[in-house]
Structure 1
Amino acid sequence: MAMPIAVLVSGGGSNLQSIIDRIEAGMLDAEIKVVVSNRADAFGLTRARNHNIPTRVLLHTEFPSREAFDEEMVRAIRESGVNETGVVAMAGFMRIVTPVFLETFRGRVVNIHPALLPSFPGVHGQADAVNYGVKISGCTVHFVDEQMDHGPVIIQAAVPCLTGEDGDALGARILGLEHRIYPQALQWLAEGRLEMRGRFVHLKPASRNLALQPVADVDTDTQALVWPPLEEGF
């Protein structure tokens, strides 16, 4: 049975598209029940509608508090068919969720961030990395907790920072890896292979034979390092 997912977006939704593409290719055992956005003009909504996925727009400015907004999000997600055993995937969702939301989907909310957490949390992760002068940056899929960009790490991908590039250039290279590691993390969730022990996320062995990609140089164009390794098809 496909794992039910609700996807939260605030912008373009390219990570949403990567999830849709993997589902339609038969590599991700999931079904997107609803795409929720806090912005009516988010292009992620258009991406969803292009694939006949239900959408909901909830404008956070119309609610008296973060908790009230989160209560309505919970209601919309439940109505879509995603219950406490489903997964909520944040894909460029620019809101910090409250305990009202997290208690409903405890251990089932995931996020993708364009930096190697715990370094450079926040909305300018790529530019912050460049401005700091680091030699390696990347992206992180993690479980969401009450703090911004803080929860236990599921998978990370690292790329070198190139001399002279700005945050936009680095971000574009990181984005290509986001589109690979996010569907992979969701597939591990769908297979029931992720186990949280405090801050540590353990990946259980696969029940079927899978050819692992190399640990290093998963993508030779970007000289990327991904851990845990991507599995076949990702």
Structure 2
Amino acid sequence: MSVDDLKQPSQQQRTGPLRIAVLVSGNGSNLQVLIDAIQAGALPIEVVGVISNRDDAYAITRAQQAHIPVAVLSHTDSGKRMGIKTFETHASAQLVAWQPDLIILAGFMRVLSAAFINNSTATMINLHPALLPAYKGLNTHQRVIQAGERYHGCSIHVVTAELDAGQVLTQALLNVNPKDTADRLQTQVQSMEHQLLPWTVLLLAKGILPLNTNKISAEAKSYLPTLPLRLFLES
């Protein structure tokens, strides 16, 4: 069965590609996955802009090489590092200008305020390196090993004011080997993220997953599978 076969017949067809803005802080490998998929014709999306809170993030170079607009919001004109309120003011204005349909936090390493999230121009989703709702926060790989978990993975969830607590849309799972280290799990999970993100974005672009999970009709709830959708990958 193809993605198109799963689409609700009553859903309105999108007239253009899904417009996406991406917030980054580092290497930007997940941004690159999206760029590669667009260039291959595999995703009906357009990355309308990238916002980085670090001026040394390699993600900036990836975006520039793909001719994607970039806003670097790391320091003020005086050279002082931007506080979160200043960052959010500039980021909000930039997002209003770009008018994305979806905002992706891809390795974005600042905690956003409730006001910024609640007043966002579009739904925000985030990649988290654990099987939510378990292991919210940091150091997930080491915590999974210390707890003796059999399974690990990553989740894509809607961003809310409560940390890592929004609706989980999709997850990718792997088996934890007793000999695994935190570094090895980190490498495995990052590889899984590179598969989970484009898969999830495709489901959103095709309308299989709703862009606003808080406004799903009763008819849609009876049609849609229980979230999260899960991608099982061999370790």
Q: When the two structures are superposed, what TM-score results if normalisation uses the length of structure 2?
A: 0.79
**Which one scores higher on RCO, CA 8 angstroms, separation ≥ 6?**
2
- Give the C-alpha shift of residue 10 in structure 1: 0.7
Correspondent of 1:94 among 71, 92, 109: 109
How many angstroms does 1:67 deviate by?
A: 3.4
Residues 135-154 of structure 1: CA deviation (Å, up to 9, x unaligned) = 11000001000011111000
Pick from 168, 190, 196: which aligns with 1:181?
196
For residues 3 and 78 of structure 1, the distance between their equivalents in structure 2, rounded to whole angstroms, comes to 16
Measure, in 1, the Cα distance between the counterparts of 2:156 and 2:169.
6
Residue type at the aligned position of 2:66 = H
What is the match of residue 31 of structure 1?
Answer: 46
Partner of 1:82: 99
Over the residues paired in the alignment, what is the CA RMSD in angstroms?
Answer: 2.5
Match of 1:70 in 2: 88
1:19 offset after TM fit, Å?
A: 1.2
Q: Which residue of 1 aligns with 2:136?
A: 121
| Structure 2 unmatched runs, 5+ | 1-15, 225-229
Runs of 4+ in 1 over 3 A off after TM superposition: 60-64, 201-205
Q: CA deviation at 1:38?
A: 0.7
- The CA distance in 2 between the partners of 1:33 and 1:106, in whole Å, is 14
Structure 1's 161 and 198: CA in aligned 2 closer, same or farther, altered over 3 A? farther
1:14 aligns with 2:35: no
Question: Aligned runs of 1:126-137 on 2, under 5 Å?
Answer: 126-137=141-152
Structure 1 residue aligned with 2:65: 50
Deviation per residue, 1:105-124 (Å, 9 max, x gap):
37610001110011112232
Aligned residue identity for 1:152: Q
The 3-state SS of whatever aligns with 1:68 is helix
Mapped partners of 2:186, 2:134: distance in 1:
15
User: 173, 177, 182: which one pairs with 1:167?
Assistant: 182
Per-residue deviation, 1:127: 2.0
Structure 1-normalised TM-score?
0.79
Aligned residues: 206
- Give ranges in structure 1 of 5+ residues lacking alignment: 206-214, 223-234
Do the aligned residues in 2 keep the contact of 1:37 with 1:45 (CA within 8 Å)?
yes
Spell out, residue by residue over 1:40-95, the C-alpha distance to the aligned partner (whole angstroms, 9 max, x if none): 1111111111211111111276445x33321211112222x224xx1110000011
Residue 152 of structure 1: aligned partner: 167
Cα distance in 2 for partners of 1:99, 1:143 equals 13
* Cα distance in 2 between the residues matched to 1:99 and 1:219: 34
Q: 1:180 to 1:93 in 2, by over 3 A?
A: same
Q: Which residue of 1 aligns with 2:9?
A: none
Deviates more, 1:121-130 or 1:108-117: 121-130
Q: Percent of counterpart pairs with the same letter?
A: 33
